[in-house]
Structure 1
Amino acid sequence: MNTIDWTRDELVAYILLFAANSDFKETPEERDMILSKIDKQTFQDIHDEFNRDNDYQGIKKIMTSLEQHNYAKDDVDILLEDVKVLFLSDEAFDVTEENMYRFLERLLKQ
């Protein structure tokens, strides 16, 4: 996978969807939080793509797009704060979500 034709908003949407689905359920609160960051059409387009991908493909796409967009440490920190807000949006930050947060933290801060 050499390039991904995502905008920064599409990348953020994909990462947030990846995180939201870590516990195999996307709550209405999580969906609303993601929609507060991006427009509905972008959300729908990226959601459709997310649904077609497996975890490995998703991780590869995230890593490739992060590199393409030259995400700096501050950008990654902001993105991780968004992930944390997403996980807290349904008032249940369970073990699966905690583990996904740690995974994304390691992945994004490489």
Structure 2
Amino acid sequence: MKTIDWTKDELVAYILLFAANADFKESKKERDLIISKVDLKTFKEIHEEFENDNDYQGIKKIMTSLEQHNYNSEDIDLLMEDIKSLFFVDDDFDITERNMLKCLNRLFKTV
């Protein structure tokens, strides 16, 4: 895939949006948590891009950007903590979110 011109904040916003939509619903608490990690302008821009991508495109963009930003295992661990926080923010850590967490963890370990 070609390069992705995202900042680290844009990458984090996209990953958290991807995770927040694991259960096909994006709660206000999840949006608020994402906005607490990145600014509102970044959130809105990345949200629009996210809405236009399918899952395959999203995963490709995420993996390409993780590599471009030279994420290491420590960075991935911090990212996974943010994802866990996102899943628990609305007090509903359902099976689709659990599966997404496992899949992202496995996928990110390949970076």
Matched, 1:17 2:24: no
Cα shift readout 1:50-73 (whole Å, capped 9, x = no counterpart):
000000000000000000000010
Residue 106 of structure 1 corresponds to which residue in structure 2?
Answer: 106
The 3-state SS of whatever aligns with 1:31 is helix
Distance 1:75 1:35 in 2: 20
Is 2:7 the counterpart of 1:7?
A: yes
Note the alpha carbon deviations across 1:3-39, whole angstroms, 9 max, x for none. Answer: 0000000000000000000100000010010010000
Aligned residue pairs total 110
How far off is 1:2 after superposition? 1.8
Q: 1:62-77 residue pairs with structure 2 within 5 A?
A: 62-77=62-77
Q: Residue deviations 1:37-90, cap 9 Å, x none?
A: 000000000000000000000000000000000001000000000000000000
For residues 21-32 of structure 1, what are the structure 2 equivalents within 5 Å? 21-32=21-32
User: 2:2, 2:75 → 1: CA distance?
Assistant: 22
Percent of aligned positions that are identical? 67
Alignment of 1:25-104 (within 5 A): 25-104=25-104
* Cα separation, 1, equivalents of 2:87 and 2:9: 19
TM-score (norm 1): 0.99
Structure 1 unaligned residues grouped into runs of 5+: none
Letter in structure 1 aligned against 2:61: K
**Structure 2, unaligned stretches of length 5 or more?**
none
CA distance in 2: counterparts of 1:109 and 1:45, whole angstroms: 27
Q: So what's the TM-score if we normalise by structure 2?
A: 0.98
